[in-house]
Amino acid sequence: MRKYGLIQKTKEVLMIQNCPFASSAAQFYLSSRSSRSVIHPLPGDAHRSFITMNEVDVSLDAIAKQKKSLRSKVRKELKGMSIAQRSQEDTAIQNIVLEASWFKSSQSVCAYISCDSLREVNTSKILSAILCNTDEEGQKQKRKKLYVPRIEDRNSHMRMFNISSTSDLSPNSMNILEPAPVDSDGNQREDVMQATDPVDLFLLPGVAFDRSGRRLGRGGGYYDVLLKKYQEVAAERKWNQPLLVALSYSLQIMDEGVIPVTPNDIHVDAIVSPAGVIPISHAALRGCD
Ligand SMILES: Nc1nc2c(c(=O)[nH]1)N(C=O)[C@@H](CNc1ccc(C(=O)N[C@@H](CCC(=O)O)C(=O)O)cc1)CN2
Ligand SMILES: Nc1ncnc2c1ncn2[C@@H]1O[C@H](COP(=O)(O)OP(=O)(O)OP(=O)(O)O)[C@@H](O)[C@H]1O
């Protein structure tokens, strides 16, 4: 069912031409002509507006394999990082976020709870600052709303629930901390999809990123599905779209063209690495003024 939907969507996207940056996925088509099944820019091949279902299948399978292999390569490199290097990069990245104008002005944030064994950029300092209402100098701030992920099933279904303390969290089967849908007083937590105010900022985890905004996740499709849904909800409610900011160790930033993508992959607006913010979209460039 999902695969058929994906094939339909892929075909629709592949037939769109001359799209602006906002739908950057549409500027590429999947090609199975090459044995490596790469992604080509459209212009020179704009006449090729149809591909068969089989070609889409072959290309998507090849892309899935390329993603898997890139994930293993980067995971290995992350395992090779020294504790000191990671800790230095964790501090630098989190300080950059805490000092950024787009973070300071945000009122509602979706962020991940970092998992040490997955070698994810640490978010504990950012989460504490949000939950304690303090800025990087310890000054009191207006309290931001915080939503964190909870996996619902293995079918790419994740929800984001509002929490007010890290004591609201317990480890799931993957040893990632997550909130129960009901709090300790028996009250249903607010799901970000039901929130009455917009989310300004998503802080995203991932395995690899590039300077054109491509993001390779852990392979569950959880973020791609949730972000697409949230973008649709925001558009229906005529809200500004949230800024999508990925947190990345230096070695997770790839040269352009290395990260394979499909039309389902949501591009990020900016990346924060220890070297600073890499603004990608117009929204991020405006936010970095
Ligand atoms: N901190 C955090 N929370 C998150 C995510 C995340 O990436 N980071 N997710 C974002 O989706 C969801 C969880 N998805 C996950 C998907 C895979 C693995 C994992 O352990 N993957 C192994 C490889 C498994 C395999 O290849 O079979 C790994 O990456 O080492 C963990 C979480 C929701 N919560
Ligand atoms: N919007 C979507 N609708 C349906 N299926 C999707 C969607 N996005 C991703 N998927 C499916 O999820 C699976 C994993 O996708 P992919 O490898 O791109 O995940 P990822 O980006 O690494 O993970 P994540 O989004 O959790 O960080 C694939 O089978 C993909 O087709």
Q: What percent of the chain has pLDDT over 70?
A: 80
Q: How far is the CA of 218 from the centre of ligand 1 (A)?
A: 5
Q: Is the CB of 176 under 6 A from ligand 1?
A: yes
Query: What is the 10 CA–ligand 2 centroid distance (Å)?
Result: 13
Assess if CATH 3.40.50.10420 describes domain 82-287.
yes
Q: Give the dihedral sign, CA 102/103/108/113.
A: positive
**What are 187-231's pLDDT values in tens digits?**
999 999 999 999 999 999 999 999 999 999 999 999 999 999 999
From 18-32, 180-194, 202-216, 230-244, the region with the lowest mean pLDDT: 18-32
Res 287 pLDDT > 90: no
Task: Out of 23, 110, 150, 156, give the residue to mutate to test ligand 2, the one with the largest number of ligand atoms within 8 Å of its CB.
Answer: 156
pLDDT tens by residue, 56-93: 888 999 999 999 999 999 999 999 999 999 999 999 99
Residue 134's pLDDT is: 66
Residues of the chain with CATH 3.40.50.10420: 82-287
Which of the ligands is closest to the CA of residue 226? 2
Sequence-distant (≥ 6) Cβ neighbours of residue 27 within 8 angstroms: 19, 41, 42
ipTM of model: 0.96
Per-residue pLDDT band at 42 (split at 50, 70, 90): very low
Name the residue with higher pLDDT: 9 or 210.
210
Q: Which residues contact 62 (CB under 8 A, 6 or more apart)?
A: 32, 36, 37
Please choose from 72, 207, 218, 227 the residue to mutate so as to test ligand 1's pocket, defined by most ligand atoms within 8 A of CB.
218
Tell me which amino acid residue 262 is. Answer: T
**Polymer length in residues for the chain:** 289
pLDDT score recorded for residue 135: 67
Atom of ligand 1 nearest to the CA of 123: 1
Short-list 200, 207, 192, CA closest to 247: 207
Q: Is the pLDDT of residue 170 over 90?
A: yes
The dihedral region occupied by 38, where left means phi > 0, alpha psi between -120 and 50, and beta the remainder, is: beta
Tell which residue, 1, 5, 6, 2, has the closest CA to residue 60: 6
Main-chain phi, psi angles of 287, to 5 degrees: -70, -20
Cα 247–Cα 198–Cα 128 angle in degrees, nearest 5: 45
Which residue stretches of the chain are H helix?
Answer: 2-15, 53-79, 83-99, 101-104, 124-132, 222-236, 282-287
Over residues 18-33, the mean pLDDT reads 30
Q: What's the predicted TM-score (pTM) here?
A: 0.85
When pLDDT is cut at 50, 70 and 90, the band that residue 121 belongs to is very high
Q: Which ligand is nearest to the CA of 76?
A: 1
The distance in angstroms from the start CA to the end CA of the chain is 44
Question: Residues 160, 233: contact at Cβ < 8 Å?
Answer: no
Percent of the chain clearing pLDDT 90 (strictly above): 71
